Chain A
């Protein structure tokens, strides 16, 4: 069965530290990839997405992610985090690349930034 793994369940960093959150998926075909973020008390919202083309995708608030097909990975990065990045981050995969294909979410990574 298709799955999405986020290996870091809880990450604590100091402000200005660099961030990388891991995401791996198990599906050998076409995929569309997403990172969503849920700030405290707010709705889940899209951070960035990959459909095709350049495997390095840039999103809002200085985040980026790199799709490495050979590693089935889509890791999220930010060179210098801020206290306001404290949130829960979800990786998601649309396995198949079609509009009716199922989307699968990882279990999420709680990021806590120390001021």
Chain B
């Protein structure tokens, strides 16, 4: 299995631009998680899905952030408009049967907003 795939691996953009991060979970996994990692705040859970349906989005910092999962093999995290404080590494992870099971993480997308 290829594991969790994220794209792009690096993104540099200017403040105010729209940013879309993409994730392909491991085939057969029914849970998908989006995280943000910064030095100050550590690893924060933003939102997670079960069978493509959002379960909890209370970690999404602002309305500028949105996430979708149109099918079992694809999810996006969008930031519009982006701000410098959004600069972070964004991880996607997937698991089988829930958040109490092992999560498999992608390589992350390093986002820099100038």
**Would A43 and B107 be within 8 Å (CB), given that A100-B50, A103-B45, A107-B43 are in contact?**
yes
Q: Which residues of chain B (15-56) have a CB below 8 Å from chain A? A: 31, 33, 35, 41-45, 48, 50, 55-56
Q: How large is the interface on B (under 10, 10 to 19, 20 to 34, 35 or more residues)?
A: 20 to 34
The number of inter-chain residue pairs (CB within 8 angstroms) is 64
Q: Which of the residues B45, B105, B106, B108 comes within 8 Å of A102, measured between beta carbons?
A: B45
Contact B42 A32 (CB under 8 A): no
Q: Which of B82-114 contact A (CB under 8 A)?
A: 91, 93, 97-108
Whether A107 contacts B42 by the Cβ 8 Å rule is yes
Residues in A whose Cβ lies below 8 Å from that of B58? 102
The answer, yes or no, to whether B3 is at the interface (CB within 8 Å) is yes
Per the bound structure, the CA–CA distance linking A94 and B58 in Å amounts to: 16
Chain A positions within 8 Å of B93 at CB level: 44
Question: B113 CB to closest chain A CB, in angstroms?
Answer: 22
Q: Contacts A100-B50, A102-B56 given; indicate if A46 touches B99 (C-beta within 8 A).
A: no
Interface residues of A (CB under 8 A from B): 32, 34, 36, 43-46, 49, 51, 90, 94, 97-108
